[in-house]
Amino acid sequence: MPSIAYLYTMPFLQKHDSLIQKNKGYTMFAKEHISYEAIGLPDRVDYSDVQVVAEAKAFYKRMKTRHTVRDFIDRPIPRSTIEDCIRTAGTAPSGANHQPWHFVAVSNPELKHKIRLAAEEEERRFYDGGASDEWIKALEPIGTNADKPHLDIAPWLILVFAQKWGEFDDGTRYKNYYVPESVGIATGFLLAALHHAGLSTLTHTPNPMKFLNVLFDRPKSEKPTMIIAVGHPAPHATVPKVAKYKKPLTEIATIAE
């Protein structure tokens, strides 16, 4: 893991507490309240077999129209919509129900621009020798480079943080389990929710992303995993042709009946 000292040489990376609305800590992890209690299954779905078949097909049909978009317009999206999609992410399953994620939603132009400056600096490092030749070659059909105008233009950026450990209400640490798996599932829920709402996304992963901890004053326990740009696609938006190729079922699944 490279030192992050160099981040503090980026002058635009000082914290902007006045621009960040932090939620007051709510914890379900009050140490003395941890015990098992069963309740009847809530929200039971009772579809007929025919409905089950139809719903699965309909969801597939909807999800296969999702595309990673790299050109956005600045058409605004209500904060409440972003919050609802993050709420959906928060319903994801997680190891021991620890919900080891935190989402930072940014629409403030000044902050988005700072993210862009820092991300482009990391991306230049990546494309100018930081990445292996094999990695650069793998990205060729996707057509990406170090310029990230979408970080300014998309109306919202959702930053995903994975919490390596948490804290009980008394300040002592607890371990989180299956963190990458849990955060990956929650992020999948988030992307599906945004798509379902008719919005486009770009999953962006400048490497490393420690600058996000500095900029948003996130604790050491949190590792930034993704920047998700959210918006409406530009009229001229294109997608790489290869992105339309998805492995067929026979390749991604083995069925043992």
Ligand X SMILES: Cc1cc2nc3c(=O)[nH]c(=O)nc-3n(C[C@H](O)[C@H](O)[C@H](O)COP(=O)(O)O)c2cc1C
Task: Name the residues that contact ligand X, by CB under 6 A.
Answer: 67-68, 70, 142, 144, 202-205, 239, 243
Write out the two tokens for 11.
């002058």
Considering the complex, what minimum distance in angstroms separates the CB of residue 206 from ligand X? 6
CA distance 210 to 216: 10
Q: Which is nearer to ligand X, 70 or 232 (CB)?
A: 70
Residue 101: HSE in the Cβ half-sphere, 13 Å Cα cutoff: 31
Considering the complex, what minimum distance in angstroms separates the CB of residue 223 from ligand X? 13
Q: Which is nearer to ligand X, 20 or 203 (CB)?
A: 203
Considering the complex, what minimum distance in angstroms separates the CB of residue 182 from ligand X? 15
Considering the complex, what minimum distance in angstroms separates the CB of residue 137 from ligand X? 14
Q: Which is nearer to ligand X, 98 or 204 (CB)?
A: 204
CA distance 234 to 46: 41
Residues 228-241, buried b or exposed e (16+ Cβ, 10 A)?
bbbbbbbeeeeebe
CA distance 16 to 18: 5
What are the beta bridge partners of residue 200?
231
DSSP notation for 138-187: HHGGGT--S--THHHHSSEEEEEEEESEEE-TTS-EEE-SSHHHHHHHHH
Q: Which is nearer to ligand X, 172 or 207 (CB)?
A: 207
Write out the two tokens for 245.
């190729």
Q: Which is nearer to ligand X, 34 or 63 (CB)?
A: 63
Q: Which is nearer to ligand X, 16 or 66 (CB)?
A: 66
Q: What angle do CA 202, 161, 73 make, to 5 degrees?
A: 25
Contact 166, 174 (CB under 8 A): yes
Considering the complex, what minimum distance in angstroms separates the CB of residue 233 from ligand X? 12
Considering the complex, what minimum distance in angstroms separates the CB of residue 109 from ligand X? 21
CA distance 223 to 160: 8
Q: Which is nearer to ligand X, 29 or 126 (CB)?
A: 126
CA distance 87 to 75: 22
Considering the complex, what minimum distance in angstroms separates the CB of residue 239 from ligand X? 6
